[in-house]
Amino acid sequence: MANSNRVLDVLIVDDDDADTLMIEEALLAAAPPPQVHRVADGNEAMEYLRRLGRYTDACRPDLILLDLNMPRMSGHEVLAEVKNDDGLKSIPVVVLTTSNALPDITASYTRHANAFVTKPMDLDGFEAAVGKIKRFYNETAVLPGDKDE
């Protein structure tokens, strides 16, 4: 059984400031609000996850919300690195992107994404989708860290 009182630690990997703000607002609207961290591209995501450079004190996230289309290192590349790293592959990764292209969906699941969600274009739909993701990982899913409690 999941721990509905836990405070999720969520890493948002997205280069779009407006989308990130909407994701953060939707996450923080649900109780209990998660700890939210954001990086703007794939290189920063891997530095954060591996606690390199300015991220030496970074917390291991319970959940990664990953955009696919980013500069320097794409979400596809981040997903492949995370899921091929024994120290990181147990972290759930939800691809949250504007794409609804079958090749992106297939490639994400081939790289072991835990879910693929197309960002709704309207604000209400966007907030509802993010809220459902948060509720699922907070109230329904059992995460590796839950066994430590």
| Structural domains for the chain | 9-138 (3.40.50.2300)
Which residues on adjacent β-strands are paired with residue 64? 11, 93
Q: What angle do CA 121, 127, 133 make, to 5 degrees?
A: 110
Q: What is the pLDDT of residues 57-85, one digit of tens each?
A: 999 999 999 999 998 899 999 999 999 99
pLDDT value, residue 149: 44
Neighbouring residues of 58: CB distance < 8 A, sequence distance ≥ 6: 37, 48, 49, 51
Which residues on adjacent β-strands are paired with residue 35? 9
Residue 75 Cα to chain centre, angstroms: 11
pLDDT value, residue 50: 97
Q: Which candidate, 149, 148, 146, places its Cα nearest to that of 1?
A: 146
Length of the chain in terms of residues written: 149
pTM: 0.92
Q: What is the pLDDT of residues 10-60, one digit of tens each?
A: 999 999 999 899 999 988 887 788 899 999 999 999 999 999 999 999 999
Q: What is the pLDDT of residues 122-132, one digit of tens each?
A: 888 988 999 89
Choice between 27 and 110, residue whose per-residue pLDDT is larger: 110
Residue 50 Cα to chain centre, angstroms: 16
* Angle between helix 17-29 and helix 123-135 axes, rounded to 10 deg: 50
Cis peptide bond N-terminal to 61, omega within 30: no
